[in-house]
C-alpha cells in the first residue's frame, strides 16, 4: 500500500522516492557504497523493496561483493497513505540519533555508511543472517545474550544521553534540535496515549470478541487518568535522548548478536519510555504464547523465559547504569563535589537507587500504555495478529489488556521487576475476561 | 561595582553599555518613547542609574511629561564582576517571556514600550509609586490583594505556558527557543542546587555563628539527595514557561496594585519552581521577623499574615488553575475527548487534582532549595541582611535553614499548604539551633 502524492513530492524539490531501479543508480554513485557492493555498474546490482514497517521504504541492495540497506523516508505514513503526511526530516533525526548511539554502542547498531538529507535516505549495513526479534519470539526461539545486550544498550545510551553525563549546554542544544521531531512525537502522543481511550476512528480490535474490554477501557476512569499522567511524563520529562520506539520489531537478532534499528522517533524524553517499550513487547509476546501452542502448556516454559528476559533486562540495565553512575558521572546532576569528593559514596548510592526507582516507575506506566495501544489502538503486533482463530486471539488479547491496565493504574505499586512477572502470571490465570 | 570589560564589549560590535548621559540620547531617538517623555531634547531629560540587582543596568529616565525605565543587560554578572561573563541574549529571553506573560496578565507587568536586541535593552513603564515587595515585607506592611494577584498570575502564566493549553508544535518550538537561555539556567543549577551543599568558593554565611549549621548541611546526606532530585526536576521537567526567578524582589507593589518584573531566567521548567520560589521568600520573610522586632512579639501577628499569604497564594492559584483546566484546556494533555466529551467530568477533576498535587510537591521541594541557598550560598536576601546584630540574624537564619532542610527532605510529607504553615511555626519555636 504505497500511496503516491505527486503534489507533496513536488514541494520537496530535491527529494525523490526511489524504486528498485533508481536506487541502483543512486548507490553506485556513492563511492564508498559502490566499493562495498563491489561494482559501480547498476546492472550488476540486485535491489528489492522489503519495508514492512509503517512509515518508510527499505531496499536491500546487493552487489557482487556485498549488500547494503537503503532506508528512505516517505512524505506520509505508509501504513495509512498520503492522507497522513509526515515530514521527511525524520530521517535527519534518525541519523542524528544513530550517530549519538554509535558513540557508545556502535556494535549494537547496523554500520552506518551514508546519509543524504535531501532524499531523507540512509545507507547502512545489511544485517544477515539477522531476523526481527518479534518473529523469533512468535516462533518460540530463545536468545541467551538478548537480555544482556538490550540491558547494556539501554543503560549506555540513556545514561550518556542525559544530564548525568552530557555537558548541560550541549544537552540543552541537542534537546532543542530533537524538539523539532514534533510530528513523530505527535504520533506517539496520539496513537499511544490518547486514541485507544476514546472512540477514535482508526482504533481497531478483534471484533466482536474484544468489544466488551475495549469499551470498558474507554469508561475506566483510573486508566484514563493513569495514561494521561504517562503522557505528561512523555511530553515534559526531557531526561535523556531516547530511541523512542524500542519494541521487538526494532531489534534484529542471531543466536549470538543483537542489533537495534529504527530510532526515527528519537527525542529527549523519560528514560522509562524506552525501558517500558521493551518490557511491553515482551509481555505482549508472553500473553500471545497461549495462542501459538499446538498442544496445552506447550509454551509454558517459553513464557517463563520471556518473563525472565524482562527480569534480566532490568537487572543488567540497573547494574550497568550503576557502574556508569560511579565511573562516568560528570554532568550537572549529582556532582561528585557533593558526594564522592567529600567521601560520601553512600549518599551517591542512595541518589542512584532513588533515580533508578523513578526510571522503573515510569517504565511500568509506559509498559502499560504500550500494551494497551497494541490491542485496541491503530497499530497491532504480529504476536497477536498471527493467531488465526479470533476467539483464541481475543482470549490472549483480553489478558494482555488487563495487564496493561493494571500497569497503568498501579505503576507505583510494583517495587521491582519480579512483581511484574508475578502480575503477568496472575493475569494469565484469569478466567472469564470475555 | 560595575566592572568594565572593553575586550568583551568589543566582541559585540553593535552593543554599547549606556550611562546616564548616553541613555538620554538613546531614548529621545525612539519616537514612541520620546513622545511618552514629552520631549526629544536630551537636555530636558533626567536620568539616574538605580540597578540594585545582581545582573543589569537599570535607568530611570524622566522627561517633562512622563518617565520610563531602561533596563540593559551587561555582558557579565554585575554582582561578581567581569570575571563571570554572561551573554547579552538574556535580554531577548526576558523580552520574549514578558510578551508571552502579557498575553494573559498584561496588567500585572510593567507596560512594554521598546526592545533593542543589539543593545540588549528594553524600555518599560516606570512603576510609581510602586515599591519592591521585599522592602515592604521588611517594613512589616500588609497588602490585601497580594495573594490574589500572585496566585492568579501564577495560574494564568503557568497554565497558558503548558501542554494543557498550547499547541504541542508551538510549545516544543518555544521550549527549543528558551533552551538557549542556558547560561541563566546554569546560574540556577549552580548557585541554587549545587554550591550551597559543598565548600564552593563563593558561598558565604553569617560567621562564625552559622558555621555549624552550614557545615552540617554539607554533610547531610538526605538533604543533598533531596536537592539533587529537585535539580533533576528543574533541568528535565519542561512543563511550562516559567518566570524563573519569582522572589519578592521581582514583585513591585502599592496598596492596591501588584506587578511582576524581571523574567530573564525564563525557560520551560516545572511549574512548582515559580510557586516554590514565592513561598520560599515569604518563609524567609517570616523567619526574619524576629530580627526586625523592636520589642518581643511585636511582629507575631505580621508573621502570621505572611503564612496566611502563602496559604492564600496557593488556594487562589489552585482555584484559578482549576477554572482554566475546565474552561481553557485545549492542549494535548487530558484531552476533552477522553473526559468531558464522554460525560466524565469526574475523571477530569481527579486528573486535575493529581496534577495540582504534583505541582505542590515540586513547589515544596523548590521552596526548600530556594531558602537554603539564600542563607549559606552566594546571594542572600535583604530580609536577613538588614538585621544588624549578627547573633540575632544568625538565630533567624538557623531557623530558616532548618525549614528549608525539612522542605527538601520531607517534600512528599506535606499534603497541603497548611502543613507548611504548621511546620514554619514549629521551626520558629525551636531553641538551641546554634
Q: List pLDDT tens digits, range B94-151.
A: 999 999 999 999 999 999 999 999 999 999 999 999 999 999 999 999 999 999 999 9
d(CA A302, CA A289): 8
Q: Which residue of B has its CA nearest to A200?
A: B337
The C-alpha atoms of residue B196 and residue B214 are separated, in whole angstroms, by 8
* pLDDT tens track for B34-79: 999 999 999 999 999 998 767 899 999 999 999 999 999 999 887 7
Rounded (5°) CA angle A279-A280-A283: 85
End-to-end CA distance of chain A: 34
**Nearest C-alpha in B relative to A183:** B169
Indicate the CATH number of A131-428 among 3.40.50.1370, 3.40.50.300, 3.90.1200.10, 3.40.50.2300. 3.90.1200.10
Q: Do A236 and B347 touch (CB under 8 A)?
A: no
Q: What is the pLDDT of residue B2?
A: 36
In angstroms, the Cα distances linking A220 to A248, A372, A379, B50 are 28, 13, 21, 59
Chain B residues with CB-CB distance to A335 below 8 A:
194, 198
Three cell numbers written together for A325: 553512575
- The confidence score (pLDDT) of residue A139 equals 97
ipTM of this complex prediction, to 2 decimal places: 0.94
Mutation target among A168, A169, A180, A236 for the B interface, most CBs of B within 10 A: A236
> Is A11 in CB contact (< 8 Å) with chain B?
no
Task: Name the packing angle between helices B417-428 and B271-292 (round to 10°).
Answer: 30
A102 vs A156: CA distance, rounded Å = 10
Number of Cβ pairs < 8 A linking chain A and chain B: 142
CB A186 within 8 A of CB A267: no
Q: To the nearest whole angstrom, how far is the Cα of B425 from the nearest Cα of chain A?
A: 30
Put simply, whether B201 touches A (Cβ < 8 Å) is: no
Chunked into runs of 10 residues, chain A (434 residues) has average pLDDT values of 39 80 96 95 96 85 97 87 89 98 98 96 97 98 98 98 98 98 97 98 97 98 98 98 98 98 97 98 98 96 98 98 98 98 97 98 98 97 98 98 98 95 98 89
Domain limits, chain A? 6-125, 131-428
Asked whether the beta carbons of residue A179 and residue B175 sit closer than 8 angstroms, the reply is: yes
Mutant choice from A175, A241, A335 vs B, greatest count of B C-beta within 10 A:
A335
B224 in contact with A at a CB cutoff of 8 Å?
yes
Between B84-88, B109-113, B294-298, B353-357, the lowest mean confidence (pLDDT) is in B84-88
Q: Mean per-residue pLDDT for B365-381?
A: 97
Q: Does B286 touch chain A (CB under 8 A)?
A: no
Per-residue model confidence (pLDDT) at position A8 = 43
What is the DSSP-derived secondary structure letter of residue A192? Answer: I
What is the distance in angstroms between the Cα of A174 and the nearest Cα belonging to chain B?
9
Average pLDDT, chain B: 95
- Return the C-alpha torsion angle B13, B19, B20, B26, nearest 10: 0
Best of A216, A224, A270, A343 to substitute, by most chain B Cβ atoms within 10 angstroms, is A224
**Between 3.40.640.10, 3.10.20.30, 3.30.200.20, 3.40.630.10, what CATH number should domain B6-125 receive?**
3.30.200.20
Tell me the HSE value of B49 on the side-chain side, using a 13 A CA sphere.
Answer: 14
**Chain A CB within 8 Å of residue B225 CB:** yes
Please give the pLDDT value at position A53: 67
pLDDT of residue A54: 72
Chain B residues in contact with A337 (beta carbon < 8 A): 194, 198, 200
pLDDT value at residue B53: 67
Beta carbons within 10 angstroms of residue A218's beta carbon: 18
Residue of B nearest to A270 (CA): B236
3-state secondary structure labels for all residues of chain B: CCCCCHHHHHHCCCCCCCCCCHHHHHHHCCHHHHHHHCCCCHHHCEEEECCCCCCEEEEEEECCCCEEEEEEECCEECCCEEEEECCCCHHHHHHHHHHHHHHHHHHHCCCEEEEECCCCEEEEECCCCCEEHHHHHHCCCCCCCHHHHHHHHHHHHHHHCECCCCCHHHHHHHHHHHCCCHHHHHHHHHHHCCHHHCCCCCCCCCCCCCHHHHHHHHCCHHHHHHHHHHHHHHHHECCEECCCCCCHHHEEECCCCEEECCCCCCCEECHHHHHHHHHHHHHHHHHHHHHHCCCCCCCHHHHHHHHHHHHHHHHHHHHHHHHHHHHHCCCCCCCHHHCHHHCCHHHHHHHHHHHHHHHHHHHHHHHHHHHHHHHHCCCCCHHHHCCCCHHHHHHHHHHHHHHHHHHHHCCCCCCCHHHHHHHHHHHHCCCCCC
Nearest to A231 among B189, B333, B344 (CB): B333
Q: Which of residues 328-367 of A touch B (CB under 8 A)?
A: 332-335, 337-339, 341-342, 344, 346-347, 350-351, 354-355
B337/chain A closest Cα distance in angstroms: 7
Amino acid at each position: 500500500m504505497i500511496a503516491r502524492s505527486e503534489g507533496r513530492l513536488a514541494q520537496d524539490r530535491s527529494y525523490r522516492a526511489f524504486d528498485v531501479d533508481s536506487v541502483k543508480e543512486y548507490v553506485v554513485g556513492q563511492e564508498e557504497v559502490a566499493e562495498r557492493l563491489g561494482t559501480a555498474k547498476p546492472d550488476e546490482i540486485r535491489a528489492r523493496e522489503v519495508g514492512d514497517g509503517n512509515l518508510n521504504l527499505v531496499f536491500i541492495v546487493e552487489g557482487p561483493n556485498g549488500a547494503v540497506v537503503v532506508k528512505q523516508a516517505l512524505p506520509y505514513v505508509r501504513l495509512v497513505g498520503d492522507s497522513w503526511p509526515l515530514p521527511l526530516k525524520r530521517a535527519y533525526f534518525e541519523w542524528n540519533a544513530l550517530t549519538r548511539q554509535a558513540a557508545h554502542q556502535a556494535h549494537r547498531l547496523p554500520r552506518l555508511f551514508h546519509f543524504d538529507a535531501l532524499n531523507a535516505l540512509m545507507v547502512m549495513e545489511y544485517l544477515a543472517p539477522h531476523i526481527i526479534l518479534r518473529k523469533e519470539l512468535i516462533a518460540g526461539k530463545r536468545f541467551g545474550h538478548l537480555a544482556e545486550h538490550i540491558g547494556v544498550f539501554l543503560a549506555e545510551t540513556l545514561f550518556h544521553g542525559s544530564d548525568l553525563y552530557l555537558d548541560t549546554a550541549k544537552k540543552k542544544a541537542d534537546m532543542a534540535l530533537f524538539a523539532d521531531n514534533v510530528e513523530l512525537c505527535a504520533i506517539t502522543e496520539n496513537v499511544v496515549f490518547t486514541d485507544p481511550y476514546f472512540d477514535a476512528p482508526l482504533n481497531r480490535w478483534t471484533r466482536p470478541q474484544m468489544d466488551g474490554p475495549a469499551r470498558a477501557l474507554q469508561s475506566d476512569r483510573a486508566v484514563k487518568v493513569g495514561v494521561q499522567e504517562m503522557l505528561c511524563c512523555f511530553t515534559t520529562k526531557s531526561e535523556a535522548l531516547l530511541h523512542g520506539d524500542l519494541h521487538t520489531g526494532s531489534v534484529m537478532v542471531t543466536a549470538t548478536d543483537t542489533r537495534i534499528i529504527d530510532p526515527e522517533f528519537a527525542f529527549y524524553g523519560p528514560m522509562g519510555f524506552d525501558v517500558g517499550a521493551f518490557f511491553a513487547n515482551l509481555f505482549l509476546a508472553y500473553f500471545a504464547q497461549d495462542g501459538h501452542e499446538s498442544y496445552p502448556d506447550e509454551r509454558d516454559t517459553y513464557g517463563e523465559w520471556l518473563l525472565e528476559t524482562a527480569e534480566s533486562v532490568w537487572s543488567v540495565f540497573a547494574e550497568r547504569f550503576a557502574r556508569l553512575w560511579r565511573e562516568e558521572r560528570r554532568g550537572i546532576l549529582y556532582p561528585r563535589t557533593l558526594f564522592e569528593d567529600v567521601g560520601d559514596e553512600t549518599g551517591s548510592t542512595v541518589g542512584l537507587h532513588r533515580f533508578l526507582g523513578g526510571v522503573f516507575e515510569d517504565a511500568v506506566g509506559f509498559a502499560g500504555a504500550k500494551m494497551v495501544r497494541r490491542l485496541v489502538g491503530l497499530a497491532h503486533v504480529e504476536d497477536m495478529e498471527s493467531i488465526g482463530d479470533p476467539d483464541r486471539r481475543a482470549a490472549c488479547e483480553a489478558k494482555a489488556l488487563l495487564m496493561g491496565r493494571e500497569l497503568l493504574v498501579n505503576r507505583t505499586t510494583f517495587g521491582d521487576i519480579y512483581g511484574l512477572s508475578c502480575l503477568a502470571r496472575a493475569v494469565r490465570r484469569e478466567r472469564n475476561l470475555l
